[in-house]
Amino acid sequence: MKSGFVAIIGRPNSGKSTLLNNILGHKVSITSPKPQTTRFPVKAIYEDARGQIIFIDTPGIFAKVKDPVSQVINPQAEKTLKEEIDVIIYLVDHTRDRNIEENKILGVVRKHNKPKILAYNKIDIKSPSFLPHYKFMEEEFDKTLSISGLFKSNLNYLLDAVFEYLPKRGKIIDNSNRPTPLINMDSKKFISEIIREKAYIFLRKELPYSLTVIVDEISQRENNLMYIQARIITGAQRYKKMIIGEKGRMIKEIGMAARKELETATNNKIFLELTVEVNPHWYQEFM
């Protein structure tokens, strides 16, 4: 049997969270078109007959960090690689040309003497493609693969490569009684992440990603109804108005989408109460 820790690293929006969700067949990491949707390393367990993998989905690395939220997020991927990692998966979106971000990530990866897998993601997209601009990197990696995290293409080959480089040892974590593959997120955090994802999806470019969600209460009520009380916290009054929307339409859309997904995930009827608050310094308190 083999087991070990595997970090997934790459630029923002390279598809790391989608890849992990589809490997596991279970949503553990939120996704959206916004950069830095993943704010902290998400750890989850994959198991099959060959052994156990503890995957770590890391936040994307920005080349230049200006806002205070990114200043907190940006160092976390490199910090993860300083932990006891057995294999590194470097995910490259071949539809975007190389830039200073890619150079920065490659520099981070080069510091670590661990087995490294280079995975070209989004091979379902034929054009644009900048694959020739990444070819020089291949000689620095133990294995190179082309995959589609979204359409699950060649994920079996990626898992084969990971198990090839993992050390022989027993299970790291006993997950026999775990309801989900997640190992570093409790119920409140998972619910807050689902709500934050829906806010990003519905608000799209209208709102910066500098908002957070705090779940204050989860309780079971009559008729198997789960009551959830949560706050969306943003940094300015003008953003609060956007989140609420005209006649409260936007906050209703966000709440409805989050409720539907949570009902599917928990197999419970849910009443979700959402409010919006302004706190210009929320990142100091909640990150």
Residue 11 labeled ligand binder: yes
Q: Is 13 annotated as a binding residue?
A: yes
Six-digit token string for 96: 């975007």
For residue 14, say whether it is annotated as part of any ligand binding site. yes
Tokens of 144: 């190179």
15 is in an annotated binding site: yes
Q: Is 97 annotated as a binding residue?
A: no
Query: If you write DSSP's letter for every residue of 160-204 in order, what string do you get?
Result: HHHHHHSPB---SS--TT-SSSBSS--HHHHHHHHHHHHHHHHHG
123 is in an annotated binding site: yes
**Annotated binding residue 122:** yes
Cβ neighbours for 277, distance < 8 A, ≥ 6 positions apart: 231, 232, 233, 234, 240
**Is 204 marked within a binding site?**
no
| Residue 12 known to bind ligand | yes
Give dist(CA 137, CA 133) in Å, integer.
Answer: 9
H/E element, 146 = strand 143-146
The letter for the amino acid at 28 is V
* Contact (CB, 8 A) for 92 and 134: yes
Residue 60 is labelled as binding a ligand: yes
Q: What is the rounded CA–CA span in Å between residue 86 and residue 84?
A: 7
| Residue 258 half-sphere exposure toward CB, CA atoms < 13 A | 30
Of 55, 22, 51, 45, nearest in space to 177 by CA: 45
43 is in an annotated binding site: no
Question: Is residue 121 a known part of a binding site?
Answer: yes
The answer to whether 170 is annotated as binding is no
CA 4, CA 114: separation in Å to the nearest integer?
12
Annotated binding site: which residue ranges? 10-17, 57-61, 121-124
Annotated binding site for GTP: which residue ranges? 10-17, 57-61, 121-124
